[in-house]
Copies of this chain bind each other. A is one copy, B any other.
Amino acid sequence: MSRTNRQITYAKVPDGTPTLDCFALVENAVPDLQEGQVLVANRFLSVDPYIRMRMERRDSYAPVMTVGSTMVGRTAGEVIDSRCLDLPVGTHVVGRLGWQDYSVATPSELERIDTAKAPMNAYLGALGSTGITAWVGLTQFGRPQAGETVLVSAAAGAVGSVVGQLAKRLGCRAVGIAGGAEKCAFVRREYRFDACVDYKAPDFAEQLAAAAGEGYDVYFDNVGGPIFDAVLPLMRLFGRIPVCGLVSQYNATEPYGVKNLREVFNKRLTLRGFVLSDHKDLWPQAVAELQAAYGDGSLVHRDTITDGLENAPQAFIDMLAGASVGKQLVRISAGEGAR
C-alpha cells in the first residue's frame, strides 16, 4: 500500500515576520520501512518560537534549516506500521518528526508516552519539552526560594504558564506578563498566578512596579526587548534572570537596544542564557516532577489547537504574534483519518 504524505517545507527565508509564502505544501509517497524502522502517524504538531530562529540566514543557537527541507518540529503520534519489535503498532510516541502527516523513524528518535496518565497533547506541552524547559530554567538558573517573587513573560504561553505554576508550587509569588487584558485574566484564572500585567496597557510600567512588591527575585525571560528593559530596574539585589528566549526579537529586523543594563551591576544580577538540549541529564528529574505536579493538580495544561496540517504555517505565524493561549498545537487530520 502506498500512502501519500503531505509535508510542509521551508520555502523562503523570511524578511522579518514570516509570511505564508515562506512555506510550501508538498506531497510525497511514504517510503517502505526498513528493518528497525516504524511509521508514525502524526496526530499533533507543536509550533514553537525556537523554530523561527532556525529560519534564518545564519546559525544562532542551532543550525538553520535548508530551504526546501521539511519544517522541523516536535509531534505526538501513533505507530501504525512497525519493523521494530520494541515499538509495536499502537505505541504512542513523541519526537522531532517534522511538519508532516507521516514520519519514518527509528527508536532512538522517539520517546514513548503514557496516554493513560495524560492526553497525548499534554506531552507536547506541560509534560513535554516546553514543560521541561520551564523546569530547567526555573530550578537551575532561577533558583527561587519559598516566599520570593517570580516574574515570567509570555505567561500565557507554553513555557511561561508552567514557570508560574511551578513557582507557586515552590511557595513563591508568581507574577506574569502577557499581551491583553483577556490573556492576563486567563493567566490568573486558569494558571492561578497571583498577578498578571498587560504589556499593551498604557500604564504597563506602573502596573509592573505595583505587582513587584519588594521587587522581583527571579525574572524568567521569554521575550527580551523593551519588556526586559522595563523589568531590570524592578529586580531585587542578587536577582536571577534565566534567559529562555527572546521572542520579541525573532521577527525584528533591527534589534532593540537595552538601556538599563547598569542594573546588572547595581543589583548584582545574574543573567543566564540556556537551551534545553544542553541539559539532557536533568530530563528524568524534570519529567518526574512535572508528572507529580500534573497528578496533584498543581500543574494544569491548556492549549490552542488549530485543525489541519495545511494550517500549520498560519498557526505558527499567529503564535509568534502572540495570538495563542497555552501551547499552540496543530491537529493533523490525515493521521486521524488513516487510523
Contact = CB atoms under 8 A, between A and B. Distances in A.
Contact of A245 (B244, B265, B268): B265
A243 B267 contact: no
Contacts of A269: 271-273
Contact of A265 (B61, B258, B265, B266): B61
Interface in A270-284: 270-275, 278
A273 B264 contact: yes
Contacts of A271: 264, 269-272
A264 B244 CA distance: 10
Interface string A106-140: 00000000000000000000000000000000000
Most buried by B among A224, A228, A270, A273: A273
Interface stretch (A189-197, A203-211, A249-257): A249-257
Most chain B CB neighbours (cut-off 10 Å) among A244, A262, A267 = A262
A26 interface: no
A334 interface: no
A261 to B, nearest CB: 6
A169 interface: no
A128 B274 CA distance: 36
Contacts of A264: 243, 271-273
Interface string A268-312: 111111110010000000000000000000000000000000000
A34 interface: no
A3 interface: no
A200 interface: no
The 6 tightest CB contacts between A and B, nearest first, are: A257-B257, A265-B273, A271-B271, A264-B273, A255-B259, A61-B266
30 contacts: A60-B262, A61-B265, A61-B266, A61-B267, A224-B262, A224-B265, A228-B261, A243-B265, A244-B265, A246-B261, A246-B265, A255-B259, A256-B257, A257-B259, A258-B258, A258-B259, A258-B261, A263-B273, A264-B272, A264-B273, A265-B274, A265-B275, A267-B273, A268-B274, A268-B275, A268-B278, A269-B271, A269-B273, A270-B271, A270-B273
